[in-house]
Structure 1
Amino acid sequence: MFWGCTALYLGVGLYLTVGQGFVLGDALSRVSAARSVWFSRDPHLAAIGFVFTPLTALVQLPTVLLSHWWPDLTSWAVTGVLMSAPFMSGAVVQIYKIGADRGCPVWLIWTVTAVFALNPMIIFYGGNGMSEAPFLAMMCWATRRLIRWCTTDDIHDLLAAGFALGLAYLARYDALAAGLAVTVFVFAVTVLRRGWRNRFAQMRPALLDAVLVGLPTAMAFFVWATISWLITGQALQQFSSTYGNASILAQSGGGSTDTVYAVLFSAAESLVLGPALPLLVPIAAALAWRRRDLEVLAAVVVLASVLGFATYSYARGMTFPFLRFYLCALPLMAVLALQLVPAGDPLVERRRGPSGFVRARFAGAPTVPAALAAALVVLTPAVTGASMLSPTLSSQQYALRSVVFPSSTDTSDHRATERRILASFTTERELARYLDALALPEGSVLMDTVYGFAVYTATERPRTFVIPSDQDFTSVLNRPAEHGVQFLLAVPNSGRGESDAVNRRYPTLYETGADIATLELEVPNDGQDQPTWRLYRVL
């Protein structure tokens, strides 16, 4: 199952990236960060950056090393595809194992697993190199282990759940909400299931359980923030840096200012990914209450906390309206469908805890709830797939329509936009080839990677460029001619370009050359929402 799904996601990912040119900027920027660790003028691990959590880029380091001989690996974000495909396959395996732990009928386990694995969003994010694949893999792993702990009270299950949440934080910041929710849940469960009469006496073991499950996430948060502070002077660059999410929102005009609309939009996004949830949630809750089944609540705590955090973030204007932020609705739907079936055979644990018990099979045949679960989820991939083609609901995926339903005669504005999205970063690859052909010496071209990451991933001569991760970047930026810089790559000083270090140092460079350079070349961009480049020759 793992290798079959990996092959599927790799194939689709390579077709979309290399075959169709559909590369997402966030994925390519992680590739650029990993490449700067190996091949920049100043190679060092801290070049990976601290604005985003590091797991996605760190995993790519071995394959990015091969780009020294095969630059197309980074130019087309192939290293990102090689990273995301196995992670998403791991999420599929965890969904299967949740069903197997539950003791569901084999046909139901395979049905739900296949529906999850073949969902268009899972296939797309399994093959595009984004952080959603490792994040979802860790969240599904944490969900399975916490479900098991509710029955076994096995410390191994609890530690594994905490470790998975810690790794999930290193993939996406959203895991912080899940880590907090799970910590509170474990504390409450440990107190309550040992008896109300002795609840005060049980505070110590409850605190120990909470610390065990919450410590990995807390350590990941504090260690990453501390390293960032020691190296850059900023602990939380995602919020304080000019390259962080807060600055991106301000420069791009993103975020919501209407709380009601934000909540309704978030609900719509969750329903697009989990259209069966409105029926599954009340049915699963009623059956769990009847069976006194705590396992159902465990899945909701882990996965719904991420959905709640995404809704809150968008309502507060802290993030963009992206469908991928609600991706946890998919595993939540799959797990709840499996949990409509009563628990089967006892779980096999390594060491049962003091509150663990042998799970007895619930009276009654599972045929009816199994059939209901299958009926609720089997048609959901079609709903999600159709919604992915909507510019309103799926702003990052709707260009897939031109891949799935190509048309050479459709000249509508929507088709033109989709084609420009598919053409993103072709201009940057051509620009990189032009600069490589000049055979410039090391440190000849200075640029920021706000937009320049696509140029940096495509070049065959990465040491030609002076980039922000170089420790001498500031001194070179202040006196480019003295340091041998021949060219400056400039983007318009508006929108995201306001955070570009070259624009911040020379605000009029793009328009006039700022009296330090003359215009050598202007490169109109074929990509959607991509800047027109200007190459300036340093005086």
Structure 2
Amino acid sequence: MRPARWLFWGCTALYAVIGLYLTVGHGFLMGDALSRISAARSVLFSRDPHLAAIGFVFTPLTAVVQLPTVLLSHWWPGLTAWGVTGVVMSAPFMAGAVVQIYKIGADRGCPPWLIWAVTALFALNPMIVFYGGNGMSEAPFLLLMCWATRRLIRWCTTDDIHDLVAVAVALGLAYLTRYDALAAGLAVTVFVFATTLLRQGWKNKRELLFPASLDAVLVALPTGVAFLAWAATSWLITGEALQQFSSTYGNANILAQSGGGSTDAGYALIFSVAETVVLGPVLPLLVPIVAVLAWRRRDLEVVAAVVVLASVIAFATLSYMRGLTFPFLRFYICALPLMAVLAFQLVPPGGALVERRHGPHGFTRRLVVGSRSVPAALAVALVVFTPVATGALMVSPTLSDQQYALESVVFPAPHDTSDKRRTERRIIASFSTERELARHIDGMRLPEGSVLMDTVYGFAVYTATDNPRTFVIPSDQDFTSIVNRPAEHGIQYVLAVPNTGRGESDAVNRRYPTLYETGADIATLQLEIPNDGQDQPTWRLYRVL
């Protein structure tokens, strides 16, 4: 078996085991991962199963690839209740990202010991390990970004149309994973256009723009098609083309309801730089060194790597500066592959690349005569402490809002009663109350379509229940009519959350603003369920009159 295959299966097993240890072993589940599992489950097992139930607020790839494993939850509900389907999804995707890093080093012609050292340091970085096993969208997004980076680097040397097509496909799929890919798609399109333009020379001005425009259109087409197709489908089905921005459930409303986002552009810039340095602490040293070496070598491959990965970091920074997103460390995760690729590029390129078709402006690389061990040793020296530094900074509540609770898993201190430790335990306990609530409702043996619930907070209940058809949820086509006249449609109970914060977007709260407090004259309070999780609502179960 080739080394890349061993690497892929080894990393897949590692990330899956650690993911299961965190989710099933400790109940440490990420809300976004569970919400995508909930969407996939509604496609297959809701009262009104249909593909559009996957929703249009977030792009669909992360949920779609989980459909086969979510299908098995019909027999083993624990697969969704404990986020196992998310682990099964993210582990091989992150392993694929590791393989792409390995292949970038191999394409560069680096010494084998350097390739394995940098690849191992990337694969074992705590952020990579954590997001390789938690079912979030970072794993597929990183694979596609690393794939696009590798093929664009190759294209700079080979001018092979196959490499350019691979870049285009990777970016198109990346958009279906995360909206951040639009920034990379735009940056790569400009880069390809400018590179082809410069390669043509200035002898024939009339024909100068055609090849450059053709390459730019080729690389931009899949992303453009993905964007238009997703927006058009959303508009045809929901009446809103860009639900991420316009929907009640979209990011803009989530920010407003949660008090997120930044109003100080200067602070946001400093924070974003700090987040990038947390993930890539040697980037401030690595970038200028590699830039000088690339200029001396006339090495365009370095620029290609920066264009793909740094554009995503720049997009996250700009979004936070404009108050459009949350201060999450994971939004800057592309700093990790950027650091690994730049470490490889300290070493001069050596040896010819294997290509399918040599382009008209491609060239054959020649092995550089002289010692390659000095820059290789420098690369390892710069990167070797990165996993330790990142791991240490991940336990900071300021810099690592979504990850710092890992300290209570890795270094448990049951007798530590400090505020930080108590908060960490509550974060880890998130969604435990929803699992108990789902078990309680399942034990009531209710008929189909008898519990009304929005999935703003209810997604964790929906992933944990053994009987998803018991619930009426927003993806059901008759949801609106049932909300308006619940008793007439056989609704026996309503699950309610406070009409504050994100609860303001809850469809039941929007129809009955006083339901949570008074029952809104349509229901009486049956049960109140205090929540063990951090920043999770106290549930109320109302019986419909």
Task: Tell me the TM-score range normalised by the shorter chain.
Answer: over 0.9
1:123 aligns with 2:129: yes
Structure 1 partner of 2:242: 236
> Separation in 2 of the partners of 1:252 and 1:424?
17
Q: Residue 489 of structure 1: SS of its match in structure 2?
A: strand
1:375 aligns with 2:375: no
Structure 1 partner of 2:436: 430
1:398 aligns with 2:389: no
1:352 aligns with 2:358: yes
- Deviation by residue 1:481-511 (Cα, 9 ceiling, x = unmatched): 0000000000000000000000000000000
> Separation in 1 of the partners of 2:236 and 2:370?
60
For the 8 Å contact 2:164–2:219, the answer to whether it is kept is: yes
Structure 1 partner of 2:80: 74
Runs of 4+ that moved beyond 4 A: none
For the 8 Å contact 1:226–1:235, the answer to whether it is kept is: yes
> Separation in 1 of the partners of 2:357 and 2:33?
41
For the 8 Å contact 1:444–1:487, the answer to whether it is kept is: yes
> Separation in 2 of the partners of 1:91 and 1:138?
8
* AA partner of residue 197 (structure 2): V
* AA partner of residue 301 (structure 1): V
Structure 2 partner of 1:18: 24
Structure 1 partner of 2:288: 282
1:301 aligns with 2:311: no
- Deviation by residue 1:303-352 (Cα, 9 ceiling, x = unmatched): 00000000000000000000000000000000000011011111111001
Structure 2 partner of 1:106: 112
Aligned runs of 1:439-454 on 2, under 5 Å?
A: 439-454=445-460
> Separation in 2 of the partners of 1:394 and 1:92?
23
Q: Residue 66 of structure 2: SS of its match in structure 1?
A: helix
Aligned runs of 1:247-258 on 2, under 5 Å?
A: 247-258=253-264
> Separation in 1 of the partners of 2:386 and 2:199?
36
* AA partner of residue 262 (structure 1): A
Q: Residue 7 of structure 1: SS of its match in structure 2?
A: helix
What's the CA shift for 1:212? 0.7
For the 8 Å contact 2:202–2:208, the answer to whether it is kept is: no
Q: 1:514 aligns with which of 502, 509, 520?
A: 520
* AA partner of residue 138 (structure 1): L
> Separation in 2 of the partners of 1:344 and 1:281?
21
Q: 1:493 aligns with which of 490, 499, 509?
A: 499
Q: Residue 323 of structure 2: SS of its match in structure 1?
A: coil
Q: 1:466 aligns with which of 462, 472, 484?
A: 472
> Separation in 1 of the partners of 2:131 and 2:286?
25
1:191 aligns with 2:192: no
For the 8 Å contact 1:192–1:199, the answer to whether it is kept is: no
TM-score with structure 1 length normalisation?
0.99
> Separation in 2 of the partners of 1:67 and 1:519?
32
What's the CA shift for 1:200? 4.9
For the 8 Å contact 1:313–1:319, the answer to whether it is kept is: yes
What's the CA shift for 1:365? 1.6
Aligned runs of 1:217-232 on 2, under 5 Å?
A: 217-232=223-238
Aligned-residue identity in percent: 80
Structure 1 partner of 2:345: 339
CA RMSD of aligned residues (A): 0.6
* AA partner of residue 95 (structure 2): S
Structure 2 partner of 1:96: 102
Q: Residue 53 of structure 2: SS of its match in structure 1?
A: helix
> Separation in 2 of the partners of 1:282 and 1:366?
19
**Structure 1 pair 162–536 and aligned structure 2 pair: CA distance change class (3 A):** same
> Separation in 2 of the partners of 1:279 and 1:153?
31
- Deviation by residue 1:158-192 (Cα, 9 ceiling, x = unmatched): 00001000111111000000000000000000000
> Separation in 1 of the partners of 2:205 and 2:294?
24
The runs of 5 or more residues in structure 2 that have no matched partner are 1-6
For the 8 Å contact 1:153–1:352, the answer to whether it is kept is: yes
For the 8 Å contact 1:273–1:384, the answer to whether it is kept is: yes
Q: Residue 543 of structure 2: SS of its match in structure 1?
A: strand
What's the CA shift for 1:409? 1.0
Q: Residue 196 of structure 1: SS of its match in structure 2?
A: coil
Q: Residue 26 of structure 1: SS of its match in structure 2?
A: helix
Structure 1 partner of 2:54: 48
Aligned pairs, number: 539
For the 8 Å contact 1:191–1:199, the answer to whether it is kept is: no
What's the CA shift for 1:408? 1.3
TM-score with structure 2 length normalisation?
0.98
What's the CA shift for 1:196? 3.4
